[in-house]
Every structure is written in structure tokens, then in C-alpha cells.
Amino acid sequence: MLAGVGVRVRAGEVLALVGPNGAGKSTLLSALAADLPPAAGSVRIHGRPASDWSAPELALRRAVLPQAASLSFPFTVEEVVRMGRAPWAAARPEEDEAAVAEAMAATEVTGFAARPFSALSGGERARVALARVLAQRAPLLLLDEPTAALDLRHQELVLRLCRARARAGDAVVVVLHDLGLAAAHAHRVAVLRGGRIAADGRPGEVFTGELLSEVYDQPVEVFPHPRTGAVLVLPEREAPV
């Protein structure tokens, strides 16, 4: 449950939502997507109350990637990605084709376009689900743990795609558990604890050993990267015997 949360999502920026399990990250993402109406306060999308937008209008303005992607029918990978074009019913066929092809290439799933979605590994499904969101070409992306099932290379790929969308002028909100990824790729981080925002700002300002140790109830050390200066976040451990 969220309480007293206020957050602004800005165009051209990647905002990472981080915090321990049960802190309210996914709940906040659902509220920002207008999938979960707030009991108090309001959510505004593109300056208008979320409730003022119809479902088709919302689909043109924000795209949502849930934590898990499951389908009951044997759709192919390409068919799943093409679902992202459903809000653009009036688009020209060549625009749909370009959007689908671009999204599949960006997420490196073109090679198994004809395979059934159900036959893919967890990481492959996650990338296909992201491709569907990218094909939607909405100016607001809301991604819930998009790197959870991915290997190291594809984790970096997904966060680079987030940065690229932000550079193109989109607003990106991503729920992450990996504080290192958040520090390296997010323009801003919001640290949640117990349904409230404990801190909001640039990673280098927000990620301190004191704050993170308190929020995660785990001793944490924070260091600057020796080459880039980016924040490195590590759990404090005793030296091996």
C-alpha cells in the first residue's frame, strides 16, 4: 500500500524505482499506468487526470510491461510483438511493419520470429514482451522488472534501450532490483520503503551507504567506479577466511 507518494515522470528521462520486496514499486508503477486507481490523490498523464483518458487513448500514450508475460494460445513471436500495434488501428501497414521490425531487431528476437512464444526460455519471453511494448511507440514506457530473467548482456541491452528512448524524448519508468544497473543507467532514482518514497534524485546523490543500509536493513557500501565515476553499490561482506 502506498501512502503520501508524489512522483513526477519527465520526458527525456529514465526514472528507476528501487527498494526492498514489498516496498510498493509495482503498486506505484500500476498507479502511474492508471491500471490501479488511487484511493486518494490523483494521477495525471500528459497533464490530464488519468480518468479523463479512455482506454484506447491511454494505449496511445503509455505502454506497460508487467512482471510476467504468459499467453494461452500458440502465438508466434512476431504475432506477440505485433499486438503492440493494436492501438494504432488507423496506421498505415508499412508503419506497423517498420515498428514491429525495429522493435524485434532492438531486442534481438528477429531470429526466432516464427517460433511459438510458449517455446521460448524465460529470458527470451522477457525480450519479446519488451519488443511488444517498444512496437507500441507510446511516449511513456512503464517497465516492471524488465531485466529479472535476463543474462548480463541482455540486462545491459534493455537499459541501453531505455536510455535511447529517453534520448528520443520519451519518459521511461523502470522497476529494478539491481542497484548497480539503476546507478549506471537511470537519470533519477526513487527509493521506496514501506509504501513511501525515502529519497528521490540523481543516483550519485541518493545512493549513499547510510540510506541504502537503512532501507534494505543490510549493510551496504557505495564506491565510485574507478574509470567512469558511476556509483557502485555492494553489500558489505566480511573478508573470506
Q: Is residue 129 part of a domain?
A: yes
**With a threshold of 0.85, does the pTM exceed it?**
yes
Reduced to 3 states, what is the DSSP secondary structure of residue 118?
Answer: helix
Residue 9, all three cell numbers: 515522470
Query: Whole-angstrom Cα distance, residue 115 to residue 119?
Result: 7
Q: Is residue 38 part of a domain?
A: yes
- What pairing do the DSSP bridges indicate for beta strands 13-18 and 188-193? parallel
In the prediction, which pLDDT does 68 show? 77
For the chain, the domain total comes to 1
Q: Is residue 196 part of a domain?
A: yes
Measured in degrees and rounded to the nearest 5, phi and psi for residue 12 equal 80, 20
Q: Of 12-21, 62-71, 151-160, where does mean pLDDT reach its minimum?
A: 62-71
The DSSP element (H or E) to which 13 belongs, if any, is strand 13-18
Could you write out the three-class secondary structure of 23-39?
CCHHHHHHHHCCCCCCC
Tell me the pLDDT of the chain averaged across its residues: 92
Q: Is the pLDDT of residue 239 over 70?
A: no
Q: Is residue 2 part of a domain?
A: no
In the prediction, which pLDDT does 23 show? 95
Cβ proximity of 231 and 185 under 8 Å: no
Q: Is residue 165 part of a domain?
A: yes
- Chain segment 25-77, per-residue pLDDT in tens: 999 999 999 998 888 888 999 889 998 999 999 999 999 999 876 777 889 99
> How many other CB atoms are there within 10 angstroms of residue 141's CB atom?
26
Query: Whole-angstrom Cα distance, residue 51 to residue 206?
Result: 32
In the DSSP assignment, the letter for residue 120 is S
- Of the chain, the percentage scoring pLDDT greater than 70 comes to 98
Reduced to 3 states, what is the DSSP secondary structure of residue 73?
Answer: coil
- Give residue 87's domain range: 13-201
- Chain segment 89-112, per-residue pLDDT in tens: 877 889 999 999 999 999 999 999
Domain holding 50: CATH number? 3.40.50.300
Q: Is residue 235 part of a domain?
A: no
In the prediction, which pLDDT does 8 show? 92
Q: Is residue 219 part of a domain?
A: no
In the prediction, which pLDDT does 232 show? 87
Q: Is the pLDDT of residue 215 over 90?
A: yes
- Chain segment 218-231, per-residue pLDDT in tens: 999 999 888 888 88
Cβ proximity of 219 and 27 under 8 Å: no
- Diameter of the chain by CA atoms? 66
Q: Is residue 237 part of a domain?
A: no
